[in-house]
Amino acid sequence: DIQMTQSPSSLSASVGDRVTITCRASQSISRKLNWYQHKPGEAPKLLIYAASSLQGGVPSRFSGSGSGTVFTLTISSLQPEDYATYSCQQSHSYTFGGGTKVEIK
């Protein structure tokens, strides 16, 4: 099974900060990597698919990069509504990373 490891597991940041989250796959997954945002009590939201394609309606401050085994999600300027948990997912067998909780500093 392909394992996905996210880092950090949590971070504190201020509004306006640039935030970067990393996801590592246990073997190459080409660009088959998705990113989701989820908040308690809400439906999770697809942000990025195919490593760097922005889902429709998602603000352009979100971006994704990487291929093979190392991927990053970047929020260029953190907004109040971005405080949430972010999870990566490899789409070979749908395994998710452990999640990164972004908290207010």
Partner 1 sequence: QVQLVQSGAEVKKPGASVKVSCKASGYTFTSYHMHWVRQAPGLGLEWMGTINPSGGSTTYAQRFQGRVTMTRDTSTSTVYMELNSLRSEDTAVYYCARHRTHCSNGICYWFFDLWGRGTLVTVSS
Residues lying near partner 1 in the complex (CB under 8 A) are found at 6, 30-32, 34, 36, 38, 41-46, 49-50, 53, 55, 87, 89, 91, 93-99
Per-position b or e across 13-40, b if 16+ CB within 10 A of its CB: beeeeebebbbbbeeebebbbbbbbeee
Nearer to partner 1, 25 or 34 (CB): 34
Nearer to partner 1, 68 or 98 (CB): 98
Closest distance to partner 1 from the beta carbon of 72 (Å) = 17
